[in-house]
Amino acid sequence: MLQVRDLQAGYIRGAPVLRGLDLDLVRGDCIALMGRNGMGKTTFVKALMGVLPQISGSIRFLDQEIAALPPYRISNAGIAYVPQGREIFPDFTVEQNLAMGRIGKRKQRNEPVDFVYDYFPVLAERRKQLGGTMSGGQQQQLAIARALVGRPDLLLLDEPSEGIQPSIVQEIAAILRRIVEQEKMTVLVVEQNLDLVRRLADHVRFIENGRIQSGVAVEEINRNPAMIGRYLSV
């Protein structure tokens, strides 16, 4: 469903962060992208969403070339992005935040959003609360729920564990796993938190110096922790 070929992208001309990145996702995949700081994880996600000024190579999503499209077209093509730092609307209530995820989508505009409350009961209790007054973990759940109400084909998560206490990370991982299985959702998660990756992903890809270096099934990591050392330790 997603084929990335020879992707070069960066922030200034002549200094690409991604240097010929290839990646394939099949529908139903749940893949974690791991790597050290500065290896291009977030840059890759931004390149996918169309916000980088310098980009070349090919990104095909559902038989459509999206590498040159503006972010709103990429979103409407079916990729939902949960950015690093959550980025909910702090002055909006939970319901208004969810409405923002739905109004822009032609098909989902009038559909109920109640199904996300089944996954995130904490949001159901706080429908009228302002997003900015919630805890980090709750905001993260809201950001994921807001992405889901648009009924995306691909869910893109950038460091969902950042700044959240371990027990809540485990809870969010479990909820995401349920969503993957019940909604047949395709997920690409960029993450450094091994605990979340183990609980959520089926496969792991390692990114180094702007390229995908290798990939393994998550069980492999559990058997062979040295592998993590090679790609993640400084």
Partner 1 sequence: MSGYSRQLTVLFWAALIASPLFLDGWNLGLLSQLMIYGIFALSLAFIWGQGGLLCFGQSLFFGLGAYAMALTTKDMIPGIPATTLTGLGLAVILPAVVAGLLGLALFKGRGLYGAYFGIVTLSAAVIAERLAINWSYIGGFNGLLDIPPLRVGWGSWQTELYDPLPFFFVVLVAALGIYLLLLRLERSAFGTVLRGIRDNETRATFLGFETAEYKAAAFAVSGAIAGLAGALFAVQFAFVSPAILGFALATEVLIWVAIGGKTVLLAAFIGAVAVKSVENVLSDTLGQYWLLVLGLLFVVAVVLMPRGLLAPFLQLPLPRALRLSGSKEE
> Within a 10 A sphere around the Cβ of 81, how many other Cβ atoms?
22
Pick from 69, 100, 194, 232 the residue near partner 1 by CB under 8 A: 100
Pick from 84, 96, 129, 170 the residue near partner 1 by CB under 8 A: 96
Q: For residue 224, give Cα distances in angstroms to 151, 192, 221, 228, 229.
A: 36, 17, 5, 8, 10
Considering only the stretches 19-27, 56-64, 67-75, 203-211, report the one whose residues sit in contact with partner 1 under the rule CB under 8 A. 67-75
Pick from 8, 24, 36, 51 the residue near partner 1 by CB under 8 A: 51
The tokens for 136 are 């980090």
Pattern 129-148, binding to partner 1, x per CB under 8 A? -----------------x--
Q: How far is the CB of 142 from partner 1 (least distance, A)?
A: 13
Query: Can residue 70 be called a binding residue for partner 1 (CB under 8 A)?
Result: yes
The tokens for 143 are 């950001």
Task: Quote the CA–CA distance of 64 and 72 in Å, as a whole number.
Answer: 15
User: What does 114-169 look like in DSSP terms, one character per residue?
Assistant: HHHHHH-HHHHHTTTSBGGGS-HHHHHHHHHHHHHTT--SEEEEE-TTTT--HHHH
Pick from 16, 83, 160, 210 the residue near partner 1 by CB under 8 A: 83
**List of residues contacting partner 1 (CB under 8 A):** 49, 51, 70-72, 75-76, 81, 83, 87, 89-93, 95-96, 99-101, 103-105, 109, 124, 127-128, 146, 150
